[in-house]
Structure 1
Amino acid sequence: MIEITIRGVRPEDLDRITEIESVCFPATEAAQRESFRERIAAFPEYFLVAEADGILIGFINGCVTNSAVIYDELFHSTSHHIPDGKNLTVFGLDVIPEYRNLGIAAQLMNHFIQLAKDTGRRSVILTCKERLVHYYESFGYVNNGISGSTHGGSQWFDMTLVLG
């Protein structure tokens, strides 16, 4: 079993995070370096990374909002982050291909859900492709149907995990 360390993001992780995102998402959906730089500055407490042997292999990040669903502007501007908001968003859950199917994404998600609980959030919300609906349901998320988000020109599904 591989040993994974999950920790908060650091500014020096920026280049590796950008590289991982470009591997995990199509160019039309992948966040760019500047967007990650802004996220790390605006809400580092909601940006976790996974390391194996000191190498960054994955991450999860999102902002806090009062919206019940993710809308496209959230991805593009940290000005929509509401520090005392009700809901924690998941913008992305990325694990490089060589480390997939080892439970690393699940560890990141479980840490993120616990973080949401520890910081008093009411729910965790995300959008995902249809093929991943079942995966997120395994964490307790409920599928709310097709999202209004058209991020990257794709069809997404709104998912909500109501906490405690």
Structure 2
Amino acid sequence: MSRLNIRNVVLTDLDCVSEIESLCFPAAEADSKNIFQERISVFSEGFFVAQLDDKVIGLVNGGVTNDTHLKDAFFKTMDLHIPNGDNIVIFGLDVHPDYHGRGYGKELMNHFIEAARKSGRKKVLLTCKKHLIKYYEQFGYINEGLSKSTHGGATWYDMYLVL
């Protein structure tokens, strides 16, 4: 049985991460290949992929801010990224649908949290849909209630984890 390897993204992963994103999110919410390319070039330290053998099967990526909530504009540009900021935001946690239910998302999230802790961040911030609140609470995230986010026309909830 293959062991999951989690590593920092590289530019050659661009097509894979874009494809996985398009399978995991509705078109209005999915990040574009151009956005992923910008994230890779600006902050690959906060962008991890999960790999089985030679195949990328999942990803988690983010940016750094001093804000206490994830702003919608951050989904579109890394101009809001502050390298030495206090908090790290998660833009998305994706696992290819063929690999759901095997704990790979949990491994990616735990890796991201540990990397954030090692880099000296104070909090991890994210937005999620109502049905995922319990999922994120298992990692220690606290639900702050309805978000101001209107990303992709969906209803979101703000969550944070104190490191």
Measured in 2, the distance between the counterparts of 1:33 and 1:155 equals 24
Structure 2 residue aligned with 1:128: 128
Q: What's the TM-score, normalizing by structure 2? A: 0.98
Q: How does 1:49-68 map to 2 (within 5 A)?
A: 49-68=49-68
Measured in 2, the distance between the counterparts of 1:2 and 1:133 equals 30
Measured in 2, the distance between the counterparts of 1:35 and 1:8 equals 17
Q: How does 1:112-127 map to 2 (within 5 A)?
A: 112-127=112-127
1:82: Cα distance to partner?
Answer: 0.3
Please, which runs of 5 or more residues in structure 2 have no aligned partner? none
Measured in 2, the distance between the counterparts of 1:29 and 1:58 equals 17
Q: How does 1:81-160 map to 2 (within 5 A)?
A: 81-160=81-160
Measured in 1, the distance between the counterparts of 2:153 and 2:143 equals 20
* Identity fraction in percent: 52
1:121: Cα distance to partner?
Answer: 0.2
1:98: Cα distance to partner?
Answer: 1.1
Measured in 2, the distance between the counterparts of 1:26 and 1:127 equals 15
Measured in 2, the distance between the counterparts of 1:11 and 1:98 equals 23
1:2: Cα distance to partner?
Answer: 4.4
Structure 1 residue aligned with 2:18: 18
1:127: Cα distance to partner?
Answer: 0.2
1:3: Cα distance to partner?
Answer: 1.4
- Between the two proteins, the alignment pairs up a number of residues equal to 163
1:20: Cα distance to partner?
Answer: 0.5
One-letter amino acid of the structure 1 residue matched with residue 83 of structure 2: P
Where 1:43 maps in the other structure, the secondary structure is helix
Report Cα offsets for 1:68-126 as digits up to 9, x if no partner: 00010011111100000010100000001111111100000000000110000000000
1:149: Cα distance to partner?
Answer: 0.6
Q: What's the TM-score, normalizing by structure 1? A: 0.98
